[in-house]
Every structure is written in structure tokens, then in C-alpha cells.
Amino acid sequence: MQQTGIRHASPLTMTLAYRASRIRALSSIGLVIAALWASPLLAEENMIRAHGYSFYGDLSYPADFEHFSYVNPDAPKGGDISISWQGTFDSMNPFARVGRSGLMSSSIYESLLESSEPMGGGLVPADAYGEGYGLLAHTVEYPETKEWVIFHMRPEARFSDGTPLTAHDVVFSHNLFLEQGLPSYAQAVSQRVLDAEALDDHTVKFTFAPDISRRSLIDQVGSTPVFSQAWYEETGARLDESRMEISPGSGPYMLDSFEVNRRITYRRNPDYWGADLPNNRGRHNFDRIRVEYFADGAAAFEAFKTAEYTFRAENNSRQWATGYDFPAVDRGHVVLAELPNGLPPTPSGFVFNLGRPHLHDKRVREAISLAYNFEWTNQTLQFGLFRQRASFTQDTHLQADGPPEGMELELLQSLGDLAPQEVLTQPARMPHTSSIERLVDRRNIRQATSLLQEAGWEIDDGGVLRNAEGERLRIEIPVSSAGSATMDAIIETFVQNLQQLGIDARFQRIDAAQHTDRRRNRDYDIIFDSYAAFVDTGTGLHQRYGSETAEFSLFNPAGLASPLVDAVINASLEAPTPEARDAALMALDRVLRHEFFMIPVWYNDTVWVAHWDIFERPAEETPPFSTGELDFWWFNADRAAELRAAGALR
């Protein structure tokens, strides 16, 4: 999780000529990259059988491991943990294309390989990246060429209604996502996965397309949620419809109850089929996990003070700096902690809708960015608690800094005319600096005005910015009413500075459902949103940053469509060694920053948490890729009894 000081969760039309030129460019680039990173052909194909999967085969845990190293295998089971969420929900189907689904509603489903926490809190294992261990499957089998994969499934796997989970359910679920899932997902997967076949009740085979990257093939099909074919056929339900009725899952938790827009409760399945698996020991310790919904941040925080819910991941800097001085904290009934976060921070910021004609010119976007004053905002509105983010791989070994060199430079040079000279010779783009003393930095305003003039925008006699046709430069930023007062203040001051430039800028506060709808339809000029950080490659990078699905991908709110970015992603997918992969990912960070589709904002390299003193976690250092509160923490019944006796808990 990234602390942002708030709580918060276009399309570029590609012409036929652009598509044709892009295909020609990428085809020639592929030949160059293949020559650059060529490796000897294998003399003979070897078969690999393993208890898990990583692309280079380097699993951290052996086949006979007893439990993950960071858990307490003897952690007691029982008790409740409760968290909060802001906004509303009108569906319990997280895969629908419409509506707002209830928090963690996807957590009841499992996949062949486990690579994330069922309750959505981080990676599994939380001390290794890019590894998936057998869950519904006990063994994965594939040739070294990765042309296909066979999963050997656990016969004991069951859905929560007691019915067996079989290879036929796996094939059904795969096809269901292709037929009724998100278009960007269906398009990407259908081009790469040619066939899914149940060889018998507990063996499933996936065959992959030839002449494509072997990246994100086995882990893609291995991480797809598995649904009950019988339930879907009996009910006639669709995956893409908004509904409150859900299909049975096979995970450690099952839906217990919900009150629309008020709360959702999940309970641990006492008959969970996989409770004794090595990768589950010491995990899933709470009997119930409850989500309490609130209209806004102020109401949510007041409820935490009275233990209406018991665990809070704080992402409001004002709250963290000044709010935790209530009696329960003073008495030691509420614990505050800053936990390490080994993942790069989420790339959040002000995202430009590149489908808006007035935002096509990068000079206009750069001018707009100069109106954002990070230093003043952080000091005045966020208590100086954050640092400014520059990179999509911030503070990792993949962050691009100075000019490219070594393998990264060789790769970028191999792209020919796609890579501008400034990318080859200049340091990676860094965010501008601003005055910490005052909101309006006159130097930046002058620079922004100059950029706008270069782009054809001039201030008229009335102080209004217009182009040659007399049109005003208008910028509207929608803001969710479920956000915090801090977020409102940040956007309001940003808008004030935009108005200093003569821009007709405004922000519109709308309810959470409208905000979701406008985001899905890219009905905005700028929106505060996020992309995904990366420390490894995968075809998901194309979904988030690539051109093929840019017109409709929900993961690409800018609608970024760049042949340069596409080429670098492809290079990362074809990398034959970890070193070549890392060079390509550093190049990707560099070119994403060059494209400048987002104004980067703030980040924190720790996670702020507050909880009532009724939970425990392993004494060892917190693993880097998960805080683990819903995964491997547990309930301290004795301490809870003490707080109830003291009148602190109900």
C-alpha cells in the first residue's frame, strides 16, 4: 500500500497508417533485439516438473518446505479483524463491467498457482517476487520452450458448497473470461493462449501461441480465478453482470453476510479443503474479516476511535501527523506502527487524458505540470511527511537516473528512430522543483507561460489563455466525494495555480459512483489516478502501458499509445537473462517518464498502520512485499478480554 495523503482508489485514435507503421517498426526492432540478445539453441528439449513456477526457474522454497519463513505456523485461529472502506457498493461480482463491487469480493476464489493474498493484501510468498507455488495444482509440468503447460491438480480441492473442483472448472473459467471478461484482458489472452483442455478430471493443459514471448503465459493461466461451472450453468449468471448473488469459491474465506453500503463480512470456512497445505500454515487465522463502509474519511476515522473497526491503514498525512492523540492511544489500547514496504510505490499522480486534443502537445502538459507545487503542498498540507516520486520503479535497482549506459543504452540504440536523441543522451526525466515558501512559484509560472506560447496559446487582454481560433484552454478534474479534505485542498491549490496561467481550470466534486463511471468512460481532462509499478516484466505491461488496448483499457487511464514504449516492453519480454530483463525495465522506466502522461506526486516508503491492541504478528522482521494483517496476523484473545474488561472494546 502507498500512503498518498488521501484515500483514492484518452483514448488515442490510431489511424490505419499509424498501425501499419507501428507493425513495420516493431517487426524490424524484433529482429535487431533477437540478434542483440541471441542465445544458443538447446540441443534437446528438457521437461520441467516443479511444485511452483518462476520464469527463470529459481524458486526460493524447496518442494518439501513446511511453511513460509515469515509466518508463525502455530498461530492460533479465532477472533475477528475489521477494516474500513469509503464509498458505496452495488454488486458482489468483482468481474462485472458495470457497478461498484464490494471490497475483497474476489478473495473467495483460488487459482492453480498462488501469487497473491486471498484477501488482496500483498504477494505470496511475501518474501519473494515473481514466484507462484501450487495451490489448486500440486505440480506444474512444461517443456523448456514453454510451448504448453500441464497442471496436475489436487483431487481434494472443493468449492465451499462441498462440490469437487476439477480441471473442467478450470477450462470453463478460462473460457468465461475470454467470452465475458474485460475486453483488454480477453484480447490479450486469446492471442497468446490457443487452447485449454481438461485431460482428465484433475489434469489441465494449456497450449500457447508460437513465435511470441514466453513471458506471462504459465503464470497467467496459473493465476486465473476458478469458478464453479455447475453454478454458472444452473443459474444462467454472466461474469460481466452486476449482481449481489455470487458463485461458490474454494478459498479459505467465504461470504458470510452484507448490508449494501454499510458492511461486508467474510468468515473462515471451517471445512476449507487446503487448510493443511504447507503454503497455508500459519495463515488465514481470523474467524471473520469485516469491512465497514463509510461515506467519507472523517466518519471513518471517528468510527475507528470507538473501535467500530479495529485495523486502519492510514493514508492521510494530516491524520497521521495530528489525529492520533485520542485517549485510546494514550492508554496503549491503540498501537501505531510504521511497517516497511519493499515494493516500489504506486505511480500515482495527475493523469492526462491523451484523447483530449488540447493535451496532445507535450509542451501543454509540461506547462500544466509546472502549476503543481510539490514542495509547498507537502510542507503545508501534508506535514512534510512525503518525498516526491520521479520513477515508475522508485528506489529500486531498476530506476533510471543518469544517461543510459551499458546494456540499456545498447537496447535503446537498437530501436533506431523510435528512440529520440534526448532519451539516448540525457539523464532520465525528473520532476520540476518549486518554492516551498509560497504556492505560486513565479519562475515556474513564467516557464509555463513560455511553453504555452510555443504551443500556440496566448494570454488575451482579459488575462484569458486562448489559441489561434480563440478557444479557451479548459481543464476539468473530477474528484470523488469519498476522498479526504486533504485531497480537496491539494487539487484546489493546483487549480488555483492553473488559473494563474489563464487556464479555465476547475475541479468537480462528485459522488463515488459517478466518479467510477467517469473514470471508466475517460470523461475527464485530468484525473488523480494510478498506474502499476513494476519490478519484473510480463505481458500485463502491455495492458497497462501498451498501444493495443489503449483505447479501452481501464488500466491505462491516460490512453497512452507509444510505439517506443511498446518496443521496450517487447524487449523486456524477450530478455534471455535477468540482466537483460533489468536493462529493458530500466529503459521502460526511462521512456515512460519521457512520454510524460502523468504529473508524479508524493510517496512514502513505509506503511502507516494503527490497530487496537488485540492482534499479534510474527516477531521477525516484516516481509518486504506484504504487511500481512489479513493474511498471517492473528487474534490475541487474552488481550481482547482485558480491553473489554477496561471498557475499551464492546
229-272 pLDDT, tens per residue? 999 999 999 999 999 999 999 999 999 999 999 999 999 999 99
Proportion of the chain above pLDDT 70, given as a percent: 92
Q: Which pLDDT belongs to residue 123?
A: 86
Mean pLDDT confidence for 172-183:
94
Which residues have C-beta within 8 Å of that of residue 576, sequence separation ≥ 6? Answer: 37, 39
Q: Same structural domain for residues 150 and 109?
A: yes
Which residues have C-beta within 8 Å of that of residue 557, sequence separation ≥ 6? Answer: 10, 351, 353, 519, 522, 527, 529, 531
For the segment 76-116, what is each residue's pLDDT rounded down to a tens digit?
999 999 999 998 999 999 999 888 899 999 999 999 999 87
**How much of the chain is in helix, strand and coil states, percent to nearest 5?**
30, 20, 50
Residue 325 lies in a domain: yes
Mean pLDDT confidence for 347-368:
98
**From CA 100, how far away is CA 517, in angstroms rounded?**
9
**For residue 32, what pLDDT band results from cuts at 50, 70 and 90?**
very low
Residue 254 lies in a domain: no
For the segment 312-346, what is each residue's pLDDT rounded down to a tens digit?
999 899 999 999 999 999 999 999 999 988 889 99
* CATH number of the domain within which 481 lies: 3.10.105.10
Q: Which pLDDT belongs to residue 119?
A: 64
- Distances in Å between the Cα of 426 and the Cα atoms of 273, 405, 414, 492, 539 are 56, 11, 17, 34, 28
**From CA 493, how far away is CA 475, in angstroms rounded?**
14
265 phi/psi in degrees, rounded to 5: -125, 130
Mean pLDDT confidence for 387-401:
97
Mean pLDDT confidence for 193-219:
95
Q: Which pLDDT belongs to residue 465?
A: 96
Q: Which pLDDT belongs to residue 650?
A: 83
Query: Which structural domain, as residue segments, surrounds residue 422?
Result: 350-603
Q: Same structural domain for residues 421 and 479?
A: yes
DSSP 316-336: -HHIIIII--SHHHHTTSEEE
Q: Same structural domain for residues 213 and 355?
A: no
**From CA 500, how far away is CA 495, in angstroms rounded?**
9
Residue 125: asked if its preceding bond is cis (omega within 30°), the reply is yes
Question: Does residue 11 register a pLDDT over 60?
Answer: no
Q: Same structural domain for residues 168 and 117?
A: yes
**From CA 104, how far away is CA 92, in angstroms rounded?**
9
Question: Does residue 6 register a pLDDT over 90?
Answer: no
Q: Which pLDDT belongs to residue 444?
A: 97
Q: Same structural domain for residues 211 and 274?
A: no
Q: Same structural domain for residues 469 and 568?
A: yes
Q: Same structural domain for residues 301 and 324?
A: yes
- Give the three-class secondary structure for 430: coil
Q: Same structural domain for residues 597 and 631?
A: no
Number of structural domains the chain divides into: 3
**For residue 22, what pLDDT band results from cuts at 50, 70 and 90?**
very low
Q: How many other CB atoms are there within 10 angstroms of residue 151's CB atom?
A: 27
Decide: 558 and 11 in contact? Cβ < 8 Å. no
Q: Same structural domain for residues 443 and 298?
A: no
Residue 252 lies in a domain: no
Q: How buried is residue 210: exposed, middle or buried, by Cβ count under 10 Å (0-12/13-18/19+)?
A: exposed
